[in-house]
Amino acid sequence: MASNFPLLSLLIWLPVFGGLAVLALDTWMPGRTGQRTVHWLALAISVATFALSVPLWTQFDRATDAMQFVEQVLWIERFNVEYFLGVDGLSMPLVLLTTFITPLVVISAWEVIKQRPAQYFAAFLIMEGLMIGVFSALDGLLFYVFWEAMLVPMFLIIGIWGGKRRVYATVKFFLYTFLGSVFMLVSLIYMYTLSGSYSILGFHDLPLGITEQTLIFFAFLAAFAVKVPMWPVHTWLPDAHVEAPTGGSVVLAAIMLKMGGYGFVRFSLPITPDASMALDWLMIGLSLIAVVYIGFVALAQQDMKKLIAYSSIAHMGFVTLGFFIVFAAFANNPQGSGAMLGVQGGMVQMISHGLVSGAMFLCVGVMYDRMHSREIADYGGVVNTMPKFAAFLVLFAMANAGLPGTSGFVGEFLVILGSFQANFWYAFLAGTTLVLGAAYTLWMIKRVVFGEVANDNVARLTDINAREFLVLAILALAVLLLGVWPAPLIEVMDASVAGLLEHVRQSKL
């Protein structure tokens, strides 16, 4: 493939236009055949997008931290805004995660979504393109456009196909994230007035005083902490997750939360290194609260989706912890690998959490489709009626609890390892997740899967069909593969993480 082939653009616009094509097809071909074509077209587009994204992995130059697959065109001449795309080791795995999850979401909705399936598929496809745009945009304004535009399809997905309190949940979701983002916009514009362009790479080298850095840091924090979400701005997430349809929850947990984490490594750390260093105690504190306190909150949940939502917050706490221990790790041991382990661990945790939480939400979706309940109390002894399903659920639960051999272990282990080089107590508190995570996940499994058949509804359950099996099997393979052999993923991000740390260590003052 020629090096100037606009691969990233293709990955962004193929699903977007594909989504529009799905809508158009739905209008022109109503009726049975039309519906079937709509389903297959949506699947074809999402699979094609995934297939096209594979070269990102195979042709990726692992030796450099420079941007690759770069496309740069002047977009808004008046303000020197560029249509500037490119990926490095930090963003490429997230692009792949996006293209990997979306086909699974399409398949999982196959017969489940009966109300306006075309709009459902179109919303997910368009959102896929926009999310890839977020991960590959290297121009601040372009990034912001993708970042915000993505809210529109998600707003509709939760609002149209969600549960009883869907309107409340989706408006809360939208306003919360919108409120966080606008501060980022102001600081992007501010940096534009200083540097004369919106290039993110330009922002990385922009000299900024400590006051400016602190204000910009908090502006970014408002945007990214809401997305991650970090305690105490996490309250939109349980609502959004519970009310969203299965696919919405999957995308929300698997991809959208990662944008917050990605934002920290792409913006906060390199643009405001000194403020990040001065305020790392705050970030570490919030992360540890997420890990420990939210872990306890998860323990108390009666609703399976809520439980997984809280477990997501706790797991994402690891991501932010890994990113912000770098300064303490450097200070303790300048030659040590603590910082490297922290950032790598955070990145691996993002990918792993994308797979595991997505799988967990799909599992809950499988049960919800049959029982129309997410209450743990309504289940019990599912293994007796759905043995195949129970096997998958237990596997994903183990991964969620961070069992070695699954992807969940790798990220958490790396972050804890890195934390030891920063401060023993960070590692100690982070380590409680191994207990807490196991407790809330396995306790849920015990109540839902094992034991006697709880009631007649559970007795009437039918095991997963081939379609559901396919989706869960693909995810199970990915979780195991990443768990036993994470080296390729770490290798891909190695150069970029090293480059990032090199940059972060240099004070801008």
Q: Contact residues for other proteins (CB under 8 A)?
A: 23, 27, 74-79, 119, 141, 144-145, 148-149, 151-152, 155-156, 159-160, 166-167, 170-171, 174-175, 178-179, 182-183, 185-186, 189-190, 192-193
Distance CA 365, CA 383 (A): 16
- Locus of tokens 């699979």: 47
Distance CA 306, CA 297 (A): 10
Task: Kindly tell me which of 20 and 44 has the beta carbon lying closer to other proteins.
Answer: 20
Task: Kindly tell me which of 69 and 143 has the beta carbon lying closer to other proteins.
Answer: 143
Task: Kindly tell me which of 115 and 507 has the beta carbon lying closer to other proteins.
Answer: 115
Task: Kindly tell me which of 145 and 438 has the beta carbon lying closer to other proteins.
Answer: 145
How far apart are CB 155 and other proteins at their closest, in Å?
A: 7
**Residue 140 is encoded by which pair of tokens?**
């601040």
Task: Kindly tell me which of 11 and 297 has the beta carbon lying closer to other proteins.
Answer: 11
Distance CA 65, CA 266 (A): 13
Task: Kindly tell me which of 75 and 110 has the beta carbon lying closer to other proteins.
Answer: 75
How far apart are CB 419 and other proteins at their closest, in Å?
A: 36
If DSSP codes are grouped into helix, strand and coil, which group holds residue 139? strand
> Helix 236-243 and helix 304-324: axis angle, to 10°?
140
Contacts of 456 (CB under 8 A, 6+ apart): none
Task: Kindly tell me which of 188 and 321 has the beta carbon lying closer to other proteins.
Answer: 188
Contacts of 218 (CB under 8 A, 6+ apart): 183
How far apart are CB 236 and other proteins at their closest, in Å?
A: 14
Distance CA 381, CA 132 (A): 40
How far apart are CB 507 and other proteins at their closest, in Å?
A: 25
Task: Kindly tell me which of 196 and 232 has the beta carbon lying closer to other proteins.
Answer: 196
Q: Which residues pair with 375 in a beta bridge?
A: 303
How far apart are CB 493 and other proteins at their closest, in Å?
A: 29
| Residue 170 Ramachandran class (φ > 0 left, ψ -120 to 50 alpha, else beta) | alpha
Distance CA 158, CA 386 (A): 29
Task: Kindly tell me which of 150 and 414 has the beta carbon lying closer to other proteins.
Answer: 150
Task: Kindly tell me which of 21 and 182 has the beta carbon lying closer to other proteins.
Answer: 182
How far apart are CB 162 and other proteins at their closest, in Å?
A: 8
If DSSP codes are grouped into helix, strand and coil, which group holds residue 465? coil
- 8 A C-beta contact, residue 158 and residue 173: yes
3-state helix, strand, coil in the chain (%, to 5): 75, 5, 20
Contacts of 224 (CB under 8 A, 6+ apart): 180, 184, 259, 260, 261, 263, 264, 267, 268
- Work out the end-to-end distance of the chain between its first and last CA atoms, rounded to an integer number of angstroms: 43
How far apart are CB 51 and other proteins at their closest, in Å?
A: 26
How far apart are CB 232 and other proteins at their closest, in Å?
A: 18
- 8 A C-beta contact, residue 118 and residue 38: yes
Q: Which residues pair with 82 in a beta bridge?
A: 74
